[in-house]
Structure 1
Amino acid sequence: MTEGAAEKRPHWGRRVLLALLAVVIVAGVALAIGVWHRLEQRRLGEGVVQPPSEFAELEGSSGRTGAFTTRIDFTSMATGAETISTEVAWDDEWFFQDPTAYNHELATTCSVLSAVANSESAYYQAGSNSPAYMEAALAALGFEEISTASYQYRSEIFDEIVDFIAGTDDVVAYSVATKHVTSADGAEKTLFLVSIRGSYGSEWLSDLNMGSAAAYDMDEITHEGFAQAAREIVDELAARITEEAGLGGTDDICLLFTGHSRGAATANIAAAYADEMSQGLRVLAPLSSIYCYTFATPEVTTFDTAHDALYDNIFNIMNPSDMVPRLPLASWGYERYGHDLWLPGYGDDGFAEKYAEACQVFEANTGVECPYVPEDREHVDKLVEDLGREIPTADDLASAGGVVSLVHDLLADVNPVQVLYGHYPSVYIAWMQSLDTLAE
């Protein structure tokens, strides 16, 4: 090797490093400019898919009232973007009944609407030819004034990156719609339905934002990431209800909240807020007219009042083989507002027959075999027990050394992809449609 060749090696090495550094700097600047530009577009309401115009003047609403059945289209995680459909029941009379009495028919319809909330996202992606599933579903049920505007800027990949960088991911996409319902004896109410999408994009990070009670100088806390999303929904509802009610008050207003996964957690908290507001001066609706059915619901609060009678109108439906409803851990003090109802689980009496019926319904709805493995209940139970032992409190989760390695070790006996099947909205729908009722 010549002396000149030896001198060139470090010279070229420095040039490569400088080139890489320049690429990183340019990419960072470009990203920063892109984020700033997108935030400016959001401020101006530009560069986004607009809500479907055919529903703007309620042209798609069936205007149906009373009791009826209809078919609703949506998508399933088990079949990808393919449209599937199922029949749902509806009865205006439901909303003149006691909201603290579990209504399996209403709950079953809500399980479908919570799945439709996830399907709606594709419509709001630029260049997509996906239908507006939620507008079509609510119109078929006779709803009017259907708004899915919150999906704007919350359904594109780049918007998820922007939210991650800007720290604005404590949000959800949701639908709000109204329907004028009439009872058999002629009583009337205006029903506001809120169906909330599950975790999407950077919102997964918000699922981890439990917050700190100490930051609020409190001993207890409601999950911060879910609560912020719920507050946005309640504020929008308050504005819409004020416009609807005018000077007549809110005695004839009725609320229905539903959602799956993150959407379920947000619906649970939003309904709890509405319940609490019914006892104060800023009433959204009477407590006797607030309904809530959630599915695959995470634990949301450490307040020991979560099971007070005030929240008896909230029903949370979970699959024992689903890991999501077990987080954050109950051993950390977390629970859900209202009543917990569990679907049949592996090891329960008569489970095999019930599971076979649910699988038949799943295949009828989706056209594919049900992938969920009920035996995963045993793995989920063990994982929850191990996590509670190794990470005794939520504070320990943040401070535990080698937490990634610990979780990796604890997951050794769990197939995360397989366990996820038990979380599918279409699995919950199949269970709800194959059962006559649920018991606490």
Structure 2
Amino acid sequence: MAKERVTTGERDERGEKDVAGGRPRRRRRVLLVLLVAVVCAGVGLAALVGVRLEQRRRGEGAVGAPEAPRQLETVERADGPFTARIEFTSVATGSETVSTEVTWDDEWFFEDPTVYNHELATTCAVLSAVANSESAYYQAGSGSPAYMEDALAQLGFEDVSTASYQYRSEILDEVVDLLVGDDDVVAYSVASKTVTSDDGREKTLLLVSVRGSYGAEWLSDLNMGDAAVYDLDAMDHEGFARAASELVDELSARVTERAGLDGTDDIALLFCGHSRGAATANLAASYADDMTQGLRPLAPLGSIYCYTFATPELTTMGNVSDPLYDNIFNVLNPSDVVPRLPLAAWGYARYGHDLWLPGYGDEGFEGRYERACAQFEKNVGVACPYDPRDRESVDALVADLAREMPTDDDLASVGGMASLVRGLMTDVDIARVLCGHYPSVYIAWMQALGPDELS
């Protein structure tokens, strides 16, 4: 039977029809494959999350806590202050280990906590940096030392606990926290020490050093909460408050174990932290202060100390300047954008006293800045990376945001978020501005200054 002849034009027309008819089928197959891949990935991720949550429940699958530290023989416990060399990591060196000398004196904790103590504040600035460095120890295979345990051992502390880092330092745990909405947390260290005054009095000092923002916790920094939801006129920043409440619960358990029914008159508390850690320490200290007005305080008001650094604004409560919180000191860099957020124009503030480091344009700034840069290089081994002139761009950014977003509700809008992103991306050099936020910068300033050089 003769084959049907097909002209070139007919063949081209049929080919186009076949191709045109095949495209939708191929497109559907591709979409189906993608859908199957997404479903499989979702199922696999859900299974992974479930396994990790079960491991947490059982206390498995995490880097174990370091062995109990011993007090180093090189530390001489003479009367009066002693010095120790503390190691930590610095972002300015790519997280390499650096070190600096700190001063310690047990007598500090028999003095009035409402009087600013520059030596204690400087030591707290270092311990706040150590809190950030501790994270590396709790990452499998890192080989990083236990910075916090080593530091506190040199200062004579015992019963050091960094257990909260265990499921809050690995990337997997950060993903899990993000997916299950458990990012309103923070990692912290708690340690105890028996301190003795020059006249022989004794107290049990509980030190709390809180880590700054890490992984999924950055999202918690944006969780300011809504007072209207709780039928309140004002409230503390919800993301920080949840973390601070966990910390206070931990302290309550420790104090109850130590004090029993004997009361807490011989308990002293020291809070410190940088950035998110500063906000958490500030709130936790304010809660401890509040508890002194009740039947079961954690410690007497005259034995609660708090020094924070690069502290964000953290509450819309109107009583932040109440004398009850005079034992809280917040050290801030004018060139650092973090202490300016959330905006004061929205009604946000910090508990206690704000102490500002010297800023660009202040009288006598240049000489002080040179001293701070020299101290930074001595500690870290590289030139100080922050530019104090960023104070001007930070001031301008804050003013622009306050004008474009008159209330914190505006931040939740598409336009408000766009304004924030645009401001951070175009109005300031965010990478450079963040150099003024480094813990190492704050440490260098504190070591270069006298107590009367903060404003």
Using the size of structure 2 for normalisation, the TM-score is 0.94
- What corresponds to 1:203 in structure 2? 217
User: How far did residue 246 of structure 1 move?
Assistant: 1.9
User: How far did residue 22 of structure 1 move?
Assistant: 0.8
Which one of 262, 282, 288 corresponds to residue 296 of structure 2?
282
- What corresponds to 2:5 in structure 1? none
| Alignment partners' CA distance in 2, 1:32 and 1:79 | 38
Which one of 60, 65, 85 corresponds to residue 99 of structure 2?
85
| Alignment partners' CA distance in 1, 2:148 and 2:101 | 15
User: How far did residue 211 of structure 1 move?
Assistant: 0.5
- What corresponds to 1:59 in structure 2? 70
Segment of structure 1 superposing worse, 404-413 or 275-284: 404-413
1:360 aligns with 2:371: no
| Alignment partners' CA distance in 1, 2:166 and 2:48 | 18
- What corresponds to 1:248 in structure 2? 262
- What corresponds to 2:231 in structure 1? 217
- What corresponds to 2:128 in structure 1? 114
| Alignment partners' CA distance in 2, 1:192 and 1:60 | 17
1:62-211 pair list within 5 angstroms = 65=77, 66=79, 67-211=81-225
Work out whether residues 358 and 454 of structure 2, in 8 Å CA contact, stay in contact via their aligned partners in 1: no
- What corresponds to 2:353 in structure 1? 339
- What corresponds to 1:405 in structure 2? 418
| Alignment partners' CA distance in 1, 2:348 and 2:415 | 24
User: How far did residue 216 of structure 1 move?
Assistant: 1.3
| Alignment partners' CA distance in 1, 2:70 and 2:433 | 42
2:198 is aligned with what amino acid? A
| Alignment partners' CA distance in 1, 2:65 and 2:382 | 32
1:42 is aligned with what amino acid? R
1:378 is aligned with what amino acid? E
User: How far did residue 333 of structure 1 move?
Assistant: 0.5
1:30 is aligned with what amino acid? G
User: How far did residue 417 of structure 1 move?
Assistant: 0.5
| Alignment partners' CA distance in 2, 1:407 and 1:108 | 33
Identity %: 69
1:325 aligns with 2:339: yes
- What corresponds to 2:42 in structure 1? 28
- What corresponds to 2:247 in structure 1? 233
Describe the superposition over 1:304-325 as per-residue Cα deviations: whole angstroms up to 9, x where unpaired: 1110000000000000000000
Question: Counterpart of 2:260 in 1: which secondary structure?
Answer: helix
Describe the superposition over 1:177-222 as per-residue Cα deviations: whole angstroms up to 9, x where unpaired: 0010000000110000000000000000000001111111110110
User: How far did residue 16 of structure 1 move?
Assistant: 1.1
Describe the superposition over 1:364-401 as per-residue Cα deviations: whole angstroms up to 9, x where unpaired: 11111100010000000011111111100111212x34
| Alignment partners' CA distance in 2, 1:264 and 1:389 | 27
Segment of structure 1 superposing worse, 63-72 or 96-105: 63-72
Describe the superposition over 1:99-140 as per-residue Cα deviations: whole angstroms up to 9, x where unpaired: 000000000000000000000000000111000000000001
1:37 is aligned with what amino acid? V
User: How far did residue 64 of structure 1 move?
Assistant: 6.0
Work out whether residues 61 and 144 of structure 1, in 8 Å CA contact, stay in contact via their aligned partners in 2: no
User: How far did residue 60 of structure 1 move?
Assistant: 4.7
1:323 is aligned with what amino acid? V
- What corresponds to 1:307 in structure 2? 321
Work out whether residues 206 and 226 of structure 1, in 8 Å CA contact, stay in contact via their aligned partners in 2: yes
Aligned length: 436
Work out whether residues 142 and 179 of structure 1, in 8 Å CA contact, stay in contact via their aligned partners in 2: yes
Alpha-carbon distance change, 60 to 22 in structure 1, aligned in 2, over 3 angstroms = farther
| Alignment partners' CA distance in 2, 1:109 and 1:294 | 11
User: How far did residue 234 of structure 1 move?
Assistant: 0.4
Question: Counterpart of 1:422 in 2: which secondary structure?
Answer: helix
Work out whether residues 64 and 142 of structure 1, in 8 Å CA contact, stay in contact via their aligned partners in 2: no
Unaligned runs of 5+ in 2: 1-11
Question: Counterpart of 2:384 in 1: which secondary structure?
Answer: coil
Question: Counterpart of 2:391 in 1: which secondary structure?
Answer: helix
Bigger radius of gyration:
2
Alpha-carbon distance change, 64 to 40 in structure 1, aligned in 2, over 3 angstroms = farther
| Alignment partners' CA distance in 2, 1:90 and 1:357 | 23
Work out whether residues 73 and 84 of structure 1, in 8 Å CA contact, stay in contact via their aligned partners in 2: yes
- What corresponds to 1:382 in structure 2? 396
User: How far did residue 255 of structure 1 move?
Assistant: 0.2
Segment of structure 1 superposing worse, 4-13 or 387-396: 4-13
| Alignment partners' CA distance in 2, 1:115 and 1:52 | 19
| Alignment partners' CA distance in 2, 1:35 and 1:235 | 27
Alpha-carbon distance change, 61 to 277 in structure 1, aligned in 2, over 3 angstroms = farther
Q: CA RMSD in A?
A: 1.2
| Alignment partners' CA distance in 1, 2:273 and 2:421 | 30
User: How far did residue 424 of structure 1 move?
Assistant: 0.2
Work out whether residues 304 and 327 of structure 2, in 8 Å CA contact, stay in contact via their aligned partners in 1: yes
Describe the superposition over 1:241-286 as per-residue Cα deviations: whole angstroms up to 9, x where unpaired: 1111122210000000000000000000000000010111121000
Question: Counterpart of 2:167 in 1: which secondary structure?
Answer: coil
2:40 is aligned with what amino acid? V
User: How far did residue 347 of structure 1 move?
Assistant: 0.3
| Alignment partners' CA distance in 2, 1:141 and 1:428 | 21
User: How far did residue 146 of structure 1 move?
Assistant: 0.2
| Alignment partners' CA distance in 2, 1:413 and 1:149 | 41
